[in-house]
Amino acid sequence: MNRFIRIENTDQLLKKLNSSYKCKIMAGGTDILINIKNKTIIDSLILDTSLLTDKYSFIKKKDNLIEIGSLTTFSEIAENNLIKEHLPQLKKALLSIGSPQIRNMATVGGNIVNASPAADSVVVLLTKDAKLNILSVNNTRTININNFYKGYKKLNLNKNEFITSIEVEINKEMEIFDFIKIGNRETLSISKVSLAYSIYKNTVRLASGSVNPNPSRLLNLEKIFLDSNLTKKDILTTLENDIEPIDDIRSTAFYRKTVLLNLLYSLKESLSKEDY
Amino acid sequence: MNISFDINNKKININVDPSKRLIDILRYDLLLTAVKEGCSEGECGACSVIINNKVMLACLIPAVKLQDKHILTLEGIKNTKIFNYIQQAFIEKGAVQCGFCIPGFIMSIYVYIVKGGDENEENIKRALSGNICRCTGYEKIITAVKYAVKLKNNE
């Protein structure tokens, strides 16, 4: 049996996480409730964070950084003027998830910790080298989201830790960026494959969802992506070292690889046109 | 667990299992049966309700989350002007087929119009994108929303 409790403050949350109970933090609940229904979460203490929303739901800008509270919903982020102005690709990714109803409930911290291989917001955050601020009873630490995933639903997050906020560097002038999602339809569809990129001067960051056990950067391809004589075949050969797509209910490994290759090749072509 | 919240503008306090879903509290404890159970996993929108002015899904909200929330179901808006425009528009444009999805649709439409939504078809489609009609009567529903917006703007 799962047991639900309402957390009253941060201290209580950290103490419960640090206890011997098997705990699950519930933010928006849109994934957890499904997991409970499917019995993939059992015999757990479900820690509801509704009453912590005021504290961990915010978006602020300081210099060239935007900090987003982990309990901020997709709708709140997508409708925020700082995000629209400085991180429109994050807005685009968030608006591609679920439906208006789901986006009014689901939180960015939840999307990160749920660790779906398809997590659309994560794909964007990877290209921005976003930092996760993490709190526990006796420690605070910050890690790059690129060091957060260690395989399918495996996280660099201890049992007693809670992500409080995410820090993202705002887009630079002349930075080239976007998020592209391939799904069956516009609403309520999970990515068959996705691509986010951020290119600034000689730094290329490419990330993709649904092609590895967790959302991931295409690190090998990044190194050669600006080479002027790069062919489509070169992209494919390198991409094969970066991804391990699988066949599942949404798509096939072949489709995912082919579509990602085509997306990357069009990006490369558009860069050559701009003399990049 | 004791939980107090507003339901259709009435304050209530109930003693309930914290894991009980809002949809079950509404339908079986409070007998507010306009809320419908469709997919039970957040994809169909039939259980849409308005919580603190936002449309959310009653099948994915456990009781533990309800403290101090303001919840509106179809029953709670039926005496409003905007609901009556929507109802009139649905009747005149023949927008209801089997009716199962309609209370959920009306929640989304109500919030869309309250927040100043216009007659633009793309905006309407986006606002209704979380509600599925398996009679596939979307065209008439969209026509009805445009008409309801017009009725409101002409008041």
Task: With beta carbons under 8 A apart, name residues in chain A contacting B19.
Answer: 2-4, 36, 46
CB nearest to A99's CB, from B40, B45, B65:
B45
Query: Global pTM?
Result: 0.96
DSSP B8-34: TTEEEEEE--TT-BHHHIIIIIS--TT
pLDDT for residue A64: 97
Task: Find, in chain A, the residue whose alpha carbon is nearest to that of B63.
Answer: A4
| Mutate which: B17, B39, B44, B64, vs A, most A CBs within 10 A | B64
Which amino acid, one-letter code, is at A110?
A: G
pLDDT for residue A257: 97
Numbered residues of chain B with Cβ closer than 8 Å to any chain A Cβ: 1, 18-19, 21, 40-43, 45, 48, 54-57, 59-65, 67, 108, 126-127, 129-131
pLDDT for residue A276: 67
Cα A81 to Cα A75: distance, rounded to the nearest angstrom = 12
**Under an 8 A CB cutoff, do A187 and B41 touch?**
no
Report percent pLDDT > 90 for chain A. Answer: 95
ipTM of the complex model: 0.97
B49-72: per-residue pLDDT in tens? Answer: 999 999 999 999 999 999 999 999
Those residues whose C-beta lies under 8 Å from the C-beta of residue A70, and which sit 6 or more positions away, are A27, A56, A107, A108, A109, A112, A162, A163, A164, A165, A166
Q: How far is CA A40 from CA A1, A4, A35, A72, A109, in A?
A: 12, 16, 5, 25, 20
Task: With beta carbons under 8 A apart, name residues in chain B contacting A35.
Answer: none
**Under an 8 A CB cutoff, do B129 and A50 touch?**
no
pLDDT for residue A275: 65
First to last CA, chain B: 45
B78-107: per-residue pLDDT in tens? Answer: 999 999 999 999 999 999 999 999 999 999
B96-149: per-residue pLDDT in tens? Answer: 999 999 999 999 999 999 999 999 999 999 999 999 999 988 999 999 999 999
pLDDT for residue A23: 98
> What would the two tokens of residue B59 be?
């099948």
Those residues whose C-beta lies under 8 Å from the C-beta of residue A242, and which sit 6 or more positions away, are A216, A217, A218, A219, A220, A221
